[in-house]
Structure 1
Amino acid sequence: MSDPSHKRHIVKAITWRIVGTLDTMLLAWIISGNPLTGLKIGVAEVLTKMLLYYLHERVWFKINISKEGILQESRKRHLAKTVTWRVVGTMDTMLISWLITGNPWIGVQIGVAELLTKMLLYYVHERVWYRYHFGLQKRQNTSDNEQ
């Protein structure tokens, strides 16, 4: 029997990617001054970020540190996931932005801007998903098992 959490993590990856791509395109446009550059960076990120996000979800699901007494409260867990995802996501954005623009400084600027916007957006995304049981067999009241 297949694990229903895979479906949940795939749908979460898709919803986050929509939010994240729109944010990246807007930031890249503002920083580069070119809407086409913003579009190119956003489109290039779609596949890399979907794969990286899915892998990030699977790692957090497998390590399940909430059962071990660490980060039992869902808000702390979501904050920790936010930080680890942002590190992975920012590195990916900076590399892609540098490759597309040919300018490492633009990659750094977009990455730094994303640190502010994406951490807030990701935390809100996690809190929204926590309220829904889609793809979960059951959730214990005392821990945040879904992630």
Structure 2
Amino acid sequence: MSSNIHKRHIAKAITWRIIGTFDTFILSWIITGNPLSGLKISGLELVTKMILYYGHEQLWYKVNVTESQKRHLFKTVTWRIIGTLDTMLIAWIITGNPLTGFSIGLAEVLTKMGLYYLHERAWYKINFGLDKRRSSKQ
């Protein structure tokens, strides 16, 4: 794997984390009614999700699914499962309430699936970090 692809995965992880952290902060604030809880949950996620997302990108780089829309859909679903479980656990730990963790995780399923799919579609059109452009349907 070239160093360029690592740069691409890092760049994707950073851009997604900005979007995802902001979404988590807003949802956590709304559900808990406490902006400090939103900051704590989204702040811890900033670390855990960057690591998890990078690993997810590494695995998906090795998967041979070439049709772009199917690939983006599968990546969206697998990432959302990982991300939701991480959010639920972090929110539960920070608030001390498993129901709050579940509520925030459930809300994220609705918002982040759409946001992630759009993020994947945008990155598919960007050549940054690719030695050559994949040839497949867009």
Please report the TM-score for the alignment, with normalisation by the length of structure 1: 0.90
Report the CA distance between 1:2 and its aligned residue. 4.2
Structure 1 residue ranges, 4+ long, deviating more than 3 angstroms after superposition: none
Instruction: Report what 1:102 is aligned to.
Output: 96
What are the residue-to-residue correspondences of 1:2-21 with 2, within 5 Å?
2-21=2-21
Over the residues paired in the alignment, what is the CA RMSD in angstroms? Answer: 1.4
1:69 counterpart residue number:
none
TM-superposed CA distance for 1:141, in Å, is 1.8
Distance across 2 between alignment mates of 1:78 and 1:2: 22
Q: Does 1:22 align with 2:16?
A: no
Question: Using the alignment, how far apart are the partners of 1:96 and 1:110 within structure 2?
Answer: 10
Q: TM-score, normalised by structure 2?
A: 0.96
Matched, 1:120 2:114: yes
Residue 46 in structure 1 maps to residue 46 in structure 2: yes
- Distance, in Å, in 2 between the alignment partners of 1:138 and 1:2 is 11
Deviations 1:80-134 (A, max 9, x none): 0000000000000000000000000000000000000000000000001011000
Distance 1:133 1:140 in 2: 9
Give unpaired runs (5+ residues) of structure 2. none
Cα-to-partner distance string for 1:2-48 (whole Å, 9 max, x where unaligned): 43100000000000000000000000000001011001100010110
Instruction: Name 2:34's counterpart in structure 1.
Output: 34
Query: Which amino acid is the alignment partner of residue 103 of structure 1?
Result: N
CA–CA separation in structure 2 for the residues paired with 1:97 and 1:7: 30
Residues 62-96 of structure 1: CA distance to partner in whole angstroms, max 9, x if unpaired?
12x22xxxxx3201100000000000000000000
Query: Given the alignment, which residue of 69, 73, 89 partners 1:75?
Result: 69
CA distance in 2 between partners of 1:124 and 1:142 (Å): 18
Give the total of aligned pairs: 138
Pairing partner for 1:92 from 81, 86, 95 = 86
Distance 2:41 2:99 in 1: 15
Q: In the alignment, residue 132 of structure 1 is paired with which amino acid? A: I
Mark the runs of 5 or more structure 1 residues left unpaired by the alignment. Answer: 67-71
